[in-house]
Amino acid sequence: MKIAVASGKGGTGKTTVAVNLSLFLVDADLKVTYADCDVEEPDGHLFLKPEITLKHRSAVLVPQVNPEACNLCGECGAFCRYSAIVVLKEEVMTFPELCHSCGGCAYVCSVQAITEVDRYIGSVDRGSAGKLNFISGCLDIGQAMGPPLIKAVLRNITDDGITIVDAPPGTSCPAMTAVGDCDYLLLVAEPTPFGRHDLELMLQAVGSLPMPRGVVLNRVSGPDTAIEKLCSRYGVPILSRIPEDRRVAEAYSKGLTAWKAVPGYKALFADLWSKIEPVAGRYTA
């Protein structure tokens, strides 16, 4: 069972929910993997403090042109829709940062002047935090495209047990790459005007995906009929309301987890899991 925890915007408490839910499930003697796919700014390790046992560099394939073999026919440049390879009058220029690693330029080259070479984009860490399996990706500084590294993180997930995928915020390609293959989508939102707006963007973005989904409202200080109407309109249940609580912020600032540091939060995540498990289990089956 793979559960993705996502949000329409950053700062809603997505990692807080993902980390606390993971630790609660481990405490319930379940086999759990926490996968941090927020590769531009991973922070799950700050709370889980894992022992890393395996670190490997992740690469994508980009074209390399042999100028002696190239006949400047222009087929490669005509094929590439991202302008990652451009044929000029006397030379071929490549722009690896634009390349989507489809291999098409090498495929259409009739003189086999193009080979594909590794371009390293980041690293994937594997380890454990107690009984919790831990996987995390970290994009190298200056790299623009996170999806290839997110896919590398997802490839390290085994099929057994429960996986909590901490997805990147937003509705762009990195977020969709992380949530597209999950069995349940848990959306974390805050009851603010920006929170409502970006939750609706996320609900629109995932509208065509087949998996069941639910919403967790974080930092709730009172009723919010607008966000309740929004969820009702999209047919998405509100599974949990995490109250505004200074004790959670204090625990957070010390790198502690709410489910253990703040009384009552273990019961909150137990209730949340009781609503996810039956629905996600049916979809997985």
- The mean pLDDT value for 136-162 works out to 93
Residue 104: per-residue pLDDT: 97
Number of domains in the chain: 2
Residue 121 lies in domain: 34-155
Indicate the pLDDT class of residue 282, thresholds 50, 70 and 90.
low
For the chain, first and last CA: distance in Å?
A: 9
Q: Is the pLDDT of residue 281 over 80?
A: no
Domain-ending residue, one of 136, 155, 174: 155
Residue 255: per-residue pLDDT: 81
Q: Is the pLDDT of residue 279 over 70?
A: yes
- The mean pLDDT value for 163-183 works out to 96
Residue 163: per-residue pLDDT: 97
Domain-ending residue, one of 113, 129, 155: 155
On whether both 47 and 85 belong to a single domain, the answer is: yes
On whether both 231 and 258 belong to a single domain, the answer is: yes
CATH, residue 115 = 3.30.70.20
On whether both 148 and 64 belong to a single domain, the answer is: yes
Residue 87: per-residue pLDDT: 97
Entry pTM: 0.93
State the chain's mean pLDDT as an integer.
94
